[in-house]
Structure 1
Amino acid sequence: MMELTLLFFRACLALLAMPIYLLSFLGLWKPFCRKIFFPYFMETVFEICNNNVKKHKQELFRNLPDFTGPSGELKLLEIGTGCGTNFQFYPPGCKVTCSDANPNFQQGLSRSMSKNQHIHYERFLTAAGEDLHQVPSGSMDAVVGTWVLCSVQSASKTLKEVQRVLRPGGVFYFLEHVAANPSSWKLFWQQVFYPTWKLMFDGCCLTRETWKDLEKANFSELKLQHCIMPLYWAPIKPHIIGYAVK
């Protein structure tokens, strides 16, 4: 009975989103989404989300300077940089390499860079999280990924790349929306929204149990907390936040 209810609500949502499904069938939605809709969405709507979780991010990155490398410089790689909403939380003088699988965030990035001139921008790479071959092994003191493991093709492969580019003792910071508790109504509605949400938001998955990938990644230290973020959209309220040391 529950499965039939799930299918019914999914069908209702698909009907409401029929124009997007039609554009996807014609091969028009993905290029429009990646070039226009998603960059606009990330800069406008996610700026609001960023403000709502600002205190959580400030606390998350509070100990970032502690991972400064032996050279006295903090070298940081951000995967899934998007429009650069994390720049404001990085310490002065931090040397940042940015990467994203979508190369269409230039305007938003430029605006974020102009607002955050306290850090140094090293390189901008078009790269998926699963393939960071342009970044040398052991070259980073810190890697940051916020709201990105939900949309990579493979979270486990991405975490392997994160570990590769980190120096021994380096740190990976994460903030991710995840699947709600099993048998909960939150999870039910995540499952309802899942197909349409993934289509609309460039592969974003609502029901990933990302904490399991982190637990299996064999970091030497893992600080992970489950929490409910103060966001307006119920499907992405369940989160994990923390950091992992190589």
Structure 2
Amino acid sequence: MTEASVFFLRACLALLAMPIYLLWFLGIWEPFCKKVFFPFCLEKISSIHEKKTKKQKQELFRNLSDFKSPSGELKLLEIGTGFGANFQFYPPGCTITCTDVNPHFQQGLLKNMNKNQHIHYERFLVAAGEDLHQVPSGSVDAVICTLVLCSVRNVNGTLKEVLRVLRPGGAFYFLEHVAADHSSWKYFWQQVCYPTWKLLFDGCCLTREIWKNLEQANFSELKLQHISIVLPWTPIQPHIIGYAVK
């Protein structure tokens, strides 16, 4: 588990993925990845992840209605909505604003919208987590973010925006894959796969310790749990799940 062995295995993996690195160098890979490859992979991975995490998500979102505004409304903002895998867990009658930095999820997103008519869909914004300027400050009761903080450009900047758009007493719900224990073989393989994985999956970082960002953010309360999701042949098994209150 030395740095030399990590470097050697990274080089081997890069050789196997050389055509993709070449396409990236020529400026072809990134638009293809965003429009075709990543949406296709996300749909497949999401279906597996959804089955593995259904019980955890049911428990996570069980108290969403507790964060209704004094008027009785529940306004949600989801960062990185993707195909809308979380819609089924939201309480009836809530209103949701969907955001994603990648606009090429429309077909799958519309499919899940049609399947989940218990929700009022306010609008879809093409926006990065670090820049939610289209959403007014203090305007939402809860922000949801699942499998997104791994790929944002700035985790702290995203959490700062979350705090800005939340009303006082609002909540931030999260489920994210994170770095494994540094002494484990899982972390070793995360380090090996990191550069190629990031290229293949639109900026997804395998070794982020996102719980530290959450602990350092200015939330008044944080409920966080480390869990393991068994996803065969992937380096994204360690996860964190929970919510934080503004």
Give TM class, smaller chain.
over 0.9
What SS does the aligned partner of 2:32 have? helix
Matched-pair contact (CA < 8 Å) for 1:186–1:234: no
Q: Could you give the per-residue CA deviations for residues 12-50 of structure 1, whole angstroms, max 9, x where no partner exists?
A: 111111111111011100000001111111122211211
Q: Could you give the per-residue CA deviations for residues 89-117 of structure 1, whole angstroms, max 9, x where no partner exists?
A: 10111100000111111011011111111
In structure 1, what is the equivalent of residue 170 of structure 2?
Answer: 170
Whole-Å separation in 2 of the counterparts to 1:219 and 1:153: 21
Residues 187 and 118 of structure 1, relative CA distance in 2, 3 Å threshold: same
What are the residue-to-residue correspondences of 1:102-121 with 2, within 5 Å?
Answer: 102-121=102-121
In structure 2, what is the equivalent of residue 4 of structure 1?
Answer: 4
Q: How many residues in Structure 1 have an aligned counterpart in Structure 2?
A: 246
In structure 1, what is the equivalent of residue 83 of structure 2?
Answer: 83
Matched, 1:127 2:152: no
Q: Could you give the per-residue CA deviations for residues 181-216 of structure 1, whole angstroms, max 9, x where no partner exists?
A: 112111110000000000000000000000000001
In structure 1, what is the equivalent of residue 243 of structure 2?
Answer: 243
Matched, 1:71 2:95: no
What are the residue-to-residue correspondences of 1:97-246 with 2, within 5 Å?
Answer: 97-246=97-246
Whole-Å separation in 2 of the counterparts to 1:124 and 1:234: 30
Residues 72 and 226 of structure 1, relative CA distance in 2, 3 Å threshold: same
Whole-Å separation in 2 of the counterparts to 1:77 and 1:171: 11
Give structure 2 stretches of 5+ with no counterpart.
none
State the superposition RMSD in angstroms: 0.9
Residues 43 and 234 of structure 1, relative CA distance in 2, 3 Å threshold: closer
Matched, 1:15 2:15: yes
Amino acid at match of 2:149: L
Whole-Å separation in 2 of the counterparts to 1:163 and 1:233: 35
Whole-Å separation in 2 of the counterparts to 1:76 and 1:206: 28
TM-score (norm. length: structure 2): 0.98
Residues 233 and 74 of structure 1, relative CA distance in 2, 3 Å threshold: farther
Whole-Å separation in 2 of the counterparts to 1:162 and 1:28: 33
Matched-pair contact (CA < 8 Å) for 1:142–1:171: yes
What SS does the aligned partner of 1:135 have? coil
The percentage of counterpart residues that share the same residue type is 74
Residues 102 and 185 of structure 1, relative CA distance in 2, 3 Å threshold: same
